[in-house]
Amino acid sequence: MHAIRLVTIGVIALSSVLMLGCGGTKVERMDVDKVKDLSGDWNDTDSRLVSEEMIKDVLSAPWLARYKSEGKKTPSLIVGEIKNLSHEHIAVNVFVGDIERNLINAGDVQFVASKTERQEIREERKDQDLNAAEETRKAMGKEQGADFMLKGEINTIIDAESKTQVKFYQVDLTLISLADNRKVWVGQKKIKKLVEKGKMRL
């Protein structure tokens, strides 16, 4: 009887803990520009701030003024591979989108479609060649070629002890002339975060 009473008390206690830990989900809408670090990992704020600073750097570098001084048109850029060599998953496509948007909105350069995008567009042109009216058909062989390719990589170094981590991110971007393979600009941005993990509470 005494044993049954102890088991009953244990079950009640466990149920109380589970009930405390199973509260309802709370959702709060936030301004997209508000900085909110939860895990300490790379997030949307890092992507936005790094892209903004690196675009300011590339547009103020001598290569652009030199290109324009030669009497050439607005340079066309294409984004090549941005490698994620970090310890964590990073949505590289979001970072690339931030870069393209900031560069296009600045008005000093223009972008051409990426390799993947071009393939889809070329398939559409083939379809138009067979099915579209002649006055609306877009001919093959009139694509605008890129003058420069932007390539890069994201690296991390993690230093950890117990529940404390220092996360170091380094983003390197290089702008390369497609005409002669010259590197006309090399940019670098670093981020350092101190992450302290709290004790788990029931």
**Any idea what the CATH number is for the domain that residue 123 is in?**
3.40.50
Does 58 have pLDDT greater than 80? Answer: yes
**Position 129, amino acid:** D
- Selection from 202, 185, 190 nearest residue 50 by Cα: 190
- pLDDT value of residue 168: 93
- pLDDT value of residue 160: 81
- pLDDT value of residue 31: 66
- pLDDT value of residue 6: 47
The answer to whether position 124 is within a domain reads yes
What is the extent of the structural domain holding 180?
41-134+143-196
**pLDDT tier, 9 (very low <50, low <70, confident <90, very high otherwise):** low
**pLDDT tier, 117 (very low <50, low <70, confident <90, very high otherwise):** confident
More confident site: 72 or 184 = 184
Scored b (16 or more CB within 10 A) or e, 159-192 reads eeeeeeeebebbbbbbbbbeeeeeebbebebeee
In total, how many domains does the chain have?
1
